[in-house]
Amino acid sequence: MCRFSSRSPWFGTSPLTGARAGRKTRGMTQRFTGSFTQQEPIPEAAIEAALAVLRHGRLHRYNTAPGETAETALLEQEFAAFTGARYCLAVASGGYALGCALRAVGVVPGDRVLTNAFTLAPVPGAIASVGAVPVFVGVTESLVIDLDDLALKADQADVLMLSHMRGHICDMDALMALCDARGITVIEDCAHTMGAAWNGMPSGRHGLVGCYSTQTYKHINSGEGGFLVTDDEAVAARAVMLSGSYMLYERHLAAPGPEVFEAIKYDTPNVSGRMDNLRAAILRPQLADLPAQARRWNALYQAMEAGLRDAPGLTLIDRPQQEAYVASSFQFLLLDWAAEAVQAVVAGCAARGVELKWFGTPEPTGFTSRYDSWRYAPSEPMPRSDRILQGLLDMRLPLTFSEADCAVISGIVREEVGKMV
């Protein structure tokens, strides 16, 4: 796998992927030719497990042969163990998990729900899907929720949907102390923190409910999919019923006992959003590999950090010691730069094969949008957050990259930023 148009002796071969890094020497301009959206293939063990499901044909999670335990039920049991949660439900998507969690904790139309101004569209979308109204809370230079702004807005809602956007975890001890004192229920959006932790506690386990995504660009890949975990038996039972369990909840291995369902089964609607056995079969081997994959992601992240450290004009994101991250993406700030100068860096990098996403564009593009582009949920202007978003650049770090690739990418970014300072 050669990402470069010419090979060069002074770049080695990655110990991880065998990818050869090099540079195009013509004009002394390095170009990167890897794909920022190319994930690794599905592991062979997962392909084998998927074929077994396809061969027997029982893809629906409640379609089991006598004595058989569905892949989906086994996956839930394994994910509960992975996070240390009592209960786990696998669902159709991360966004579904978020909406399901809101319903399960009792959010009703017209309620206000606090959430991050810096997050991805499915988060305010999940709030809107239950007829509730997002109240946006600002973002800090560390790319986490602004706890001062949260304290100011705490009396506006009983629920916080906290998004660990791009894997940055705020001081969860301080956040939980604040929310507990103000009687705020916390639902965590862990789309980018599966496998991460704060102060030794897995991400998704501080709040009442943790929600995860298994969509292709997240930490394990089933195309689409998600999880919800909780220790609360009533929330868990309502979530199982909501996901569309009919009256087959006894087939779950990571759900409360039937007596808990007896109390809620006539009053909980079926808002169908189950996971199926094919996706569960693909995910089980990937979940087992996640700690090793996390180490690889972090090696790429640290290679990017090393390549950009002390670059004039560029601010790296500080990562607190209590945070154990899984860095599947990389961010940096060009704080207080003129928009045209940021645009020039983005264009210069793009011309050399490095795709940067900029959160300062007035129009939402691709996956990038910001709180003021969600016009169904109007908000007060947040100048301090706008300053961060206007300087925020973001890139994926797929595991098809090597550390040598990251050295090339960071070199290009460093040069393009350097041209403007």
Ligand X SMILES: *Cc1c(COP(=O)(O)O)cnc(C)c1O
Residues of the shown chain interacting with ligand X in the complex, contacts defined by CB under 6 A = 93-95, 119-120, 122-123, 163, 165, 189, 191-192, 213, 215, 224, 226
In the complex with ligand X, which residue's Cβ is closer, 94 or 202? 94
Token pair for 252? 């779950």
In the complex with ligand X, which residue's Cβ is closer, 59 or 121? 121
The phi, psi pair for 239, rounded to 5°, reads -60, -45
The residue length of the chain stands at 421
In the complex with ligand X, which residue's Cβ is closer, 127 or 260? 127
Task: Report in angstroms how near the CB of residue 139 gets to ligand X at its nearest.
Answer: 13
Rounded to whole angstroms, the Cα distance separating 20 from 11 reads 7
Task: Report in angstroms how near the CB of residue 211 gets to ligand X at its nearest.
Answer: 8
Nearest to 407 by CA among 14, 7, 2: 14
Task: Report in angstroms how near the CB of residue 117 gets to ligand X at its nearest.
Answer: 13
Residues 6+ apart with CB under 8 A from 201: 172
Task: Report in angstroms how near the CB of residue 353 gets to ligand X at its nearest.
Answer: 24
The secondary structure element, H or E, covering residue 226 is strand 226-230
Residue recorded with tokens 């709040």: 207
Rounded to whole angstroms, the Cα distance separating 62 from 84 reads 25
CA triplet 264, 269, 274: central angle to 5 degrees?
105
Task: Report in angstroms how near the CB of residue 127 gets to ligand X at its nearest.
Answer: 12
Nearest to 114 by CA among 45, 183, 35, 46: 183
Count Cβ atoms below 10 Å from residue 195 Cβ, excluding itself: 23
Task: Report in angstroms how near the CB of residue 272 gets to ligand X at its nearest.
Answer: 15
Q: Are 261 and 126 in contact (CB under 8 A)?
A: no
Task: Report in angstroms how near the CB of residue 71 gets to ligand X at its nearest.
Answer: 19
Residue 106 CA: distances (Å) to CA of 215, 254, 278: 26, 21, 31
Strands 185-189 and 159-163: parallel
Token pair for 312? 């004039």
Alpha helical stretches, state H, 157-197: 172-181
In the complex with ligand X, which residue's Cβ is closer, 95 or 195? 95
In the complex with ligand X, which residue's Cβ is closer, 163 or 203? 163
Residue 194 CA: distances (Å) to CA of 70, 203, 291, 324: 23, 7, 10, 11
In the complex with ligand X, which residue's Cβ is closer, 377 or 407? 377
Q: Are 31 and 25 in contact (CB under 8 A)?
A: no
Task: Report in angstroms how near the CB of residue 165 gets to ligand X at its nearest.
Answer: 5
In the complex with ligand X, which residue's Cβ is closer, 161 or 308? 161
In the complex with ligand X, which residue's Cβ is closer, 100 or 345? 100
Task: Report in angstroms how near the CB of residue 336 gets to ligand X at its nearest.
Answer: 26
In the complex with ligand X, which residue's Cβ is closer, 94 or 360? 94
* Cβ-proximal residue to ligand X, closest one: 94
